[in-house]
Chain A
Amino acid sequence: GENVEQHPSTLSVQEGDSAVIKCTYSDSASNYFPWYKQELGKGPQLIIDIRSNVGEKKDQRIAVTLNKTAKHFSLHITETQPEDSAVYFCAAFGPYDKVIFGPGTSLSVIP
């Protein structure tokens, strides 16, 4: 069946370094790709998203890139801070009513 792979499953970086999380999706008709951050005891929070007609999007320290040909997209966090520590999920939406989440990446930022 359709799925979304996410790597790595855990990631530790020093404060100030960059973090990169990659996702690969299988359905070439997927058209919306959000990234969520989930802190302990909270629900997922949308941090950035990208649609299939865009290759890159940036919001301050966070950026997402999409390669439709290879069917993968990546989250880039620069100048990481301890408060960036959380579990990050990618997802692929569409076509129609399909929603598939990746298994998550636990990011630890070491002060």
Chain B
Amino acid sequence: ETGVTQTPRHLVMGMTNKKSLKCEQHLGHNAMYWYKQSAKKPLELMFVYNFKEQTENNSVPSRFSPECPNSSHLFLHLHTLQPEDSALYLCASSEDWTSGTYEQFFGPGTRLTVL
């Protein structure tokens, strides 16, 4: 595997379900990100992890819970979501967040549908 991978690619869940999205980067990077891409809205940065420490949480509802066990893996745990949470969730990575080297590499995304 190369680059940034995400699983699953598609997910349908009910509002009472609990599910997790997984991201893995094979680039040796130290920063990882979760973005939300909704139809007709700009990409929104949700969470930033730099060297496994969460540095950003852009007012994301608590029904989204990120986890970063190491620099290569990032999870987004989902519970009691709402239909308006349906979107493409993108993971990205970069060398780090604070050095000014901002080039981010994105995964293919998980298309989430909440019924």
Contacts and interface: CB of A to CB of B under 8 A. Distances in A.
Interface stretch (B12-20, B61-69, B75-83, B102-110): B102-110
Chain B interface helix/strand/loop/mixed: loop
A42 B3 CA distance: 13
B32 interface: no
Interface residues of A, number: 21
A89 B35 CA distance: 14
A101 interface: yes
Contacts of A49: 102-103
Given A97-B48, A97-B55, A44 B42 contact: no
Given A42-B108, A43-B90, A100 B42 contact: yes
In this complex, the interface size class of chain B, counting residues with CB under 8 Å from chain A, is 20 to 34
A103 B42 contact: yes
Interface in A20-62: 32, 34, 36, 41-46, 49
A34 B103 contact: yes
A41 B43 contact: no
A34 B101 CA distance: 12
